Amino acid sequence: MAEFTLELNDDQKQVRDWLHGFAADVIRPAASEWDEREETPWPVIQEAAKVGIYSLDFYAQQFFDPTGLGIPMAMEELFWGDAGIALSIVGTGLAAVGVLANGTEEQIGTWIPQMYGDPDDVKVAAFCSSEPDAGSDVASMRTRAVYDQAKDEWVLNGTKTWATNGGIANVHVVVAVVDPELGSKGHASFIVPPATPGLSQGQKFKKHGIRASHTAEVVLEDVRIPGHCLLGGKEKLDQRLARARERAASGGERVKNAAMATFEASRPAVGAMAVGTARAAYEVALDYAKTRTQFGRPIIDNQGIAFQLADMRTQIDAARLLVWRASWMATTGKPFTSAEGSMSKLYASETAKKVTAQAVQILGGNGFTREYPVERMHRDAAIYTIFEGTSEIQRLVIARTLSGMPIR
């Protein structure tokens, strides 16, 4: 078991510097253009694929880093470059995590490579969980998966929303209800292969921030997929449902549902994304405060500015520490007895919103214009307290974990 450390080793430092260079040289120069265009930055994703960043091998290396710091380090550097473009580069990862968390070895080996494609023909994948009436309330999910035993096929019907890469993905991972009576415990995850009839893109959302990342509805109309596209297989599902039915009446041991298994694994990574955006805004504000003069001196000479920057840096470092702790715990198999994963996501997300708002304030009128990147960073930061579990949901998870009570 790797000991917890705050010092990156030489290999990690080399990867960090490589990612930082890509973020500075490729992502940042393109950030404003793709934010304005509100389109998937395919050329940037292809560049990432050519150098090996957008690939299964790269994320596998970071995911299996024994210290747990590979993924958060990578997320922070890429999102330091730009949140919208970075999310387009890493968005496929959520679908991949869905397969890793719930799939068999054969499914992992079959489907994850198809999510990425290759440098000459890059692909993306989508994880589809949220619905118009079921965001945080996953028990209200309506998308149904019905097994056709005669054909060994699953038939999916429903509408998913807020899906990153939804509709443009080569592979969609869809969470659906297989047993409505079990609520969130009656869910399962399915692979919808490329070009499957019945799957279509619904509304594409025009968003406040992360505009370079494609977000849309996914409509499923009598989508038939082979039985082997059920992640984990039917035998495992039947066993899990049987256990859930036995425990439903007694309120016994909690059985994780497919969507929550994915989100729990990814929350510290989202926290790292928020840290990257916050750090980027802080650095712009610090540089501006040291060079901008008013009344004959740099504005950082004023305590009102200097103290804000001190607080911003302190909060960023504290957020990173929480993210690293949760990531290390997850990798080394230590249980989140105090909801440490949710803690890291909550604090880092709130820090990103606060720090980017302070950066806009420090830049004054310039911070409100698109001539400076903090305006875009502030818009991007708003998503961290919303997606993959709102801040309110994180607080609920933490409170329930600490108290052992069914707080509502």
Active site residues: 388
Q: What is the C-alpha separation between 255 and 179, in angstroms, rounded? A: 14
Whether the CB-CB separation of 241 and 186 falls below 8 Å is answered with: yes
For residue 142, CA distances in Å to 77, 145, 342 come to 37, 10, 26
Cβ neighbours of residue 7 under 8 Å, at least 6 residues apart? Answer: none
CA 173 to the chain's CA centroid: 14
If you write DSSP's letter for every residue of 347-378 in order, what string do you get? Answer: HHHHHHHHHHHHHHHHHGGGGGSTTSTHHHHH
E-assigned strands of 252-314?
293-294, 297-298
Q: Determine the longest span between alpha carbons in the chain, in angstroms.
A: 82
Local structure of residue 308 (DSSP, 8 states): H
CA-closest candidate to residue 68, choices 341, 262, 334, 327: 327
